[in-house]
Amino acid sequence: MTNILILGGGGMIGQKLAHHIAREGWHGQPASVTLHDIAFPPDGAPAAQRITGSLADTDAAEKLVASRPDVIFHLAAIVSGEAEQAFDKGWQVNMFATWNLLQAVRAEHEASVGSYRPRLVFSSSIAVFGAPFPERIDDEFLTAPLTSYGAQKACCELMVSDFSRKGFVDGVSIRLPTICVRPGTPNKAASGFFSGIIREPLNGQEAILPVPDSVRHTHASPRSAVGFLVRAGTMDLDPLGARRSLNMPGLSCTVAEQIESLREIAGADVVACIKPVPDEAIMKIVEGWPRDFDPSRAKALGFEAETDFAQIIRTYIDEDMTAG
């Protein structure tokens, strides 16, 4: 039985990944899933084990890796906004905890005389990129982040690649686009409105749109994100060579196109819940974000995202509204 460890297993994506594995198994076979996070939702995804704690705690990584999981998903992170405000905490959790995880894996690798070399899937982010950039970012564009979060993710990618090159781990970093539509209550992330302008109107609530509807951004649904993770966890990584960071595909569209899709699916009354309230601070942040990608490598490796925004809305309705 495949032992799978999901760090950040209490979060939205971690939970959906655990649900997916419970439903589909791993390579079609049952798997034993251990979830680790600082907290878990009530009535959460099934798991063989739930471990509560911070990956930044002393010895946390060593203890988690001691059971030698076959596959490790590392989704745990301080989010962008918090990492920007809490400088030390951001670097400690987002970078040093990843370093500790990699060192713990290496220690088990060496204790096993090289036989233990787990698959590690690290969830990175398009925040590793910073403006100015071309209209479409290709697979050879530099990582020049404009946030501490992005810098921390970019450092971790370099470590995952180097530990993999040395043979201590079989790792890959996948750079996720903005996940949309995020279920649940609105959060204070600057990107929150991309989900909010769909989710709130569908639930009969007002949603604030802080940017012009000409803003272009790249999205993928939570279902696509889980698909990326599963593929990254099961695929042969040798074709990647030494470049083990991959830009994930996503759907690039404008806010106007998002709204038009919502109108087609749910009607003008629902769209009327969107209230434009320009916010200079959010506009400034959003201007620094990538608009579109040409993720040729990931596409050639079979990674797939939605091809129109209506699919993204329907995934939310199907997966989260009916469940909620």
Is 149 annotated in the active site? yes
- Residue whose C-alpha is closest to residue 6's, from 55, 74, 59: 74
Contacting residue, 143, 173, 178, 315, with its own copies by CB under 8 A: 143
Residue 77 interacts with its own copies (CB under 8 A): yes or no = no
Size of the site for its own copies (CB under 8 A): 23
Contact with its own copies (CB under 8 A): which of 56, 120, 154, 253? Answer: 154
Which residue in the set 27, 89, 166, 275 belongs to the binding site for its own copies (CB under 8 A)?
166
Q: Residue 315 is which amino acid?
A: T
Instruction: Determine which residue in the list 39, 113, 140, 236 makes contact with its own copies, applying CB under 8 A.
Output: 140
Q: DSSP 3-state assignment of 134?
A: coil
Nearer to its own copies, 26 or 91 (CB): 91
CB of 165 to its own copies, least distance (A): 7
Could you count the other beta carbons within 10 Å of the beta carbon of residue 134?
Answer: 11
Nearer residue to its own copies within complex by CB, 146 or 235: 146
Burial readout 17-48 (b: 16 or more C-beta within 10 A, e: otherwise): bbbbbeeeebeeeebbbbbbbeebeeebbebe
Nearest to its own copies of 35, 83 (CB atom): 83
> How near is the Cβ of 144 to its own copies at its closest, in Å?
5
Tokens of 25: 């198994």
Residues of span 223-242 touching its own copies by CB under 8 A:
242
> 167's torsion region: left (phi>0), alpha (psi -120 to 50) or beta?
left
Q: Tokens standing for 68?
A: 């030698």
In whole angstroms, how close is the CB of 177 to its own copies at the nearest point? 18
The vertex-69 CA angle with 97 and 92, nearest 5°, equals: 5
| Site for its own copies, rule CB under 8 A | 87, 130, 139-146, 148, 151, 154-155, 158-159, 161-162, 165-166, 242-243, 245
